[in-house]
Amino acid sequence: MATSCDQLKKIQGHPCFGGNHHKNGRMHLAVAPRCNIKCGYCTRRHDCANESRPGVTSRLITPAEAIAKVREVMASSVMGPIIKVIGIAGPGDPLANEETFETFRLVGEEFPHLMKCMSTNGLLLPDAIERLHQLDLHSLTVTLNALDPAVGARIYGHISYQGQVFRGVEAAEILVANQLEGIRRAVGYGMTVKVNTVYIPGVNEEQVPLIGRKIKELGAFVMNIMPLIPQADFAHISPPPPEELDRVRQRNESIIGQFKHCRQCRADAVGLIGRDATVTESGTPLTVAV
């Protein structure tokens, strides 16, 4: 897919949106423990140092601890020069946690040159987009797994929204509507939007190209089709083999650009994609994994 000069400028330095992931790193701050939806493929554990997947972190931190950790990492001769992005990706949903907004405020005041990035399920995105714009959020990732509410009902156990718990097709209808509206508004504010889609064989494969066309229409920049990690309600489903995932990405390349370097990072990842740093308890990098 052709990429305009303006788009290239937007992703310059951002390893998760097509920037040089061999030179530019990111730092995830695990300040957001609470989540407002139950994804069938999600198992969140907050103390799991040996796993590398979304939803896990060695330790939950407060906004004050987060900015202290950013200071230490940015002062490091090992990591400081390569960190370009500060992201919040959980371990819950960032928008369900007020700590997300406070952390971004602190980072923006002290390190305005760093890109601010966030990953969300999108349920609260329409309500939060103005605040995110005011905080100068650069990049946004929305996980969108289905457009058809009937398919969504197979993926999500429930959502918690406006003080109520919704289930089944009704829950999926609310979620999908908010995701699409949130993406539309984010693009309107000039944010660079990536959409993650978890490819669940036998469940949502037919939805993938439909999602690609819809998000392209809304102005999303790139799509990231990720393989299912078999766990929780989908522990019995085998993930798509690499060659099948490659075919799906290639077929959708003609619809919207595909991001292919995702490593489904932890909520406290620090460093280059695929080469995360080993850090001390206080957050100071010691070595970079190879």
The predicted-structure confidence for 142-167, as pLDDT tens digits, reads as follows 999 999 999 999 999 999 999 999 99
Per residue in 270-285, pLDDT (tens digit) is 765 545 454 444 444 4
- The number of domains in the chain is 1
Tokens 């089709």 belong to residue: 225
| Rg (the chain; Cα; Å) | 18
What is the rounded average pLDDT of the residues 101-119? Answer: 96
Reading the block at residue 218, the tokens are: 């809304």
Tokens 């931190």 belong to residue: 61
- Quote the pTM value: 0.83
Reading the block at residue 38, the tokens are: 């139950």
Contacts of 120 (CB under 8 A, 6+ apart): 93, 94, 95, 140, 141, 142, 143, 182
Q: What is the dihedral of CA 1, 205, 195, 227, to 10 degrees?
A: -100
How much is the pLDDT for 268? 72
* Residue 56 near residue 267 (C-beta atoms within 8 A): yes
- In which element (H, E) is residue 166 found? strand 164-167
Least confident of 48-52, 128-132, 163-167, 286-290: 286-290
Domain span at residue 192 reads 5-288
Does pLDDT of 22 surpass 90? no
State how far the Cα of 197 lies from the Cα of 141, in Å rounded to an integer: 10
CATH number for position 58:
3.20.20.70
Per residue in 199-233, pLDDT (tens digit) is 999 999 999 999 999 999 999 999 999 999 898 89
How much is the pLDDT for 25? 78
